[in-house]
Amino acid sequence: MSQIHRLEKFLSLFSSDNKVLVVINADPDAIASATAVKRLLWRKVNEVKVTYFNEIIRPDNLTMLRVLDIDMIPIKKIDERKFDKFVVVDSQPDHHECFAMFKYDAIIDHHPFSCDCADFNDIRPEYGACSTMMTEYIKAADIKPSEHLATALIMGIKTDTKGFLRHAAMEDVRAFQFLYRYANPSLIAKIENAELREKDLDFLAKAIRRKKISNHRVYSFVGKIENPDQCVITADFFMKIDTANWSVVSGIYDKKLVIIVRNDGLRKSAGKAVKEAFDFIGSAGGHRSMARVEIKMEDLAKEFETEKVDESVNDSVISDWIIEKIEMHAGIKTA
């Protein structure tokens, strides 16, 4: 299907009286992609709002929202009855229980295929970023992106491809080249150089104290956490260790065990490894060099044959269980 055909099919879903809600799990790629949807539907529909359900605490993400003047609304403040069209970008409806609140008219995503329940489904896992897909929509619509939109889309591409050091396609490179002429390099630098908060340093110190290293894999279970993004920051940091080729940082958030996985992209796919290790008990998946797992504590308690994990099972038991599962399935395969 040509990109112009995709654009026409997507736009045909909407009319001038529609009120559209774009739902995301907010990270740079999702934020940029949702912003592009707003631009595509500008003057075509009555209203477009973007909502997110995760807490945004990473300094670079907060800086991106601030300097690019991106407006989003927490899902708790959304009255879904005010909207009659729903779009999800950079995710699929079965990726998180919060997505299940809505019936979607359009799904646009670059993650491995798992759900095509909308009237319009554009799922291209060969792409490194959803921002690349949205850039193609912008180009097909013959829209000259604003400085802020181009900068946001570049950040989405750079973040999800890790500066083209992990999974990326030639389409990602072409999109980056197209956007760069409109983006603001100073704003990109400001976002990327956002400083850590004091809380992040404290969390990092705790994770370092609890780290365990096995077969060049760094593990750290940090107990209860304020936000899963702290695990993401720490997992990325641990990959800077010269001997580390895997990083696995985990904690308990909102009655769930959250496990963040990173690897150097040369070994077995992190996404495949976590699906093999944890899919039987929770949601697990991701890309070659990055993955995420969420397990309800009640299901973890059944696995440990106890009534309540947080009271009857100590941290070392959870930590050792995660290590055992990863070590069993991480392997050294390149496939």
Q: What is the CATH number of the domain that holds 14?
A: 3.90.1640.10
Please tell me whether residues 138 and 184 are part of one structural domain. Answer: yes
Please tell me whether residues 153 and 286 are part of one structural domain. Answer: no
Please tell me whether residues 94 and 130 are part of one structural domain. Answer: yes
Q: 263 falls in which pLDDT band (50, 70, 90)?
A: very high
Burial 197-206 (b: 16+ CB within 10 A, else e): eeebeebbeb
The answer to whether the CB of 204 falls within 8 A of the CB of 229 is no
Domain boundary residue, one of 166, 192, 218: 192
Please tell me whether residues 255 and 157 are part of one structural domain. Answer: no
Please tell me whether residues 156 and 204 are part of one structural domain. Answer: no
Share of the chain above pLDDT 90, in %: 77
Burial 106-127 (b: 16+ CB within 10 A, else e): bbbbbbeeebeebebebbbeeb
Please tell me whether residues 74 and 182 are part of one structural domain. Answer: yes
pLDDT, tens digit, 9 for 90 and up, residues 80-126:
999 999 999 999 998 888 888 899 999 999 999 998 889 999 999 99
Q: 334 falls in which pLDDT band (50, 70, 90)?
A: very low
In a domain? residue 307: yes
The domain spanning residue 295 has which CATH number? Answer: 3.10.310.30
Q: Residue type at 224?
A: K
| pLDDT above 80: residue 313 | no
Please tell me whether residues 244 and 319 are part of one structural domain. Answer: yes
Determine the Cα–Cα distance for residues 103 and 98; give it in Å rounded to an integer. 12
Please tell me whether residues 24 and 138 are part of one structural domain. Answer: yes
Domain boundary residue, one of 131, 160, 192: 192
In a domain? residue 256: yes
pLDDT, tens digit, 9 for 90 and up, residues 54-79:
988 888 899 999 999 999 999 999 99
Per-residue pLDDT at 332: 54
Per-residue pLDDT at 154: 98
In a domain? residue 335: no
For residue 208, the tally of other CB atoms under 10 A from its CB is 14
Domain enclosing residue 12, as ranges: 3-192
Please tell me whether residues 86 and 156 are part of one structural domain. Answer: yes
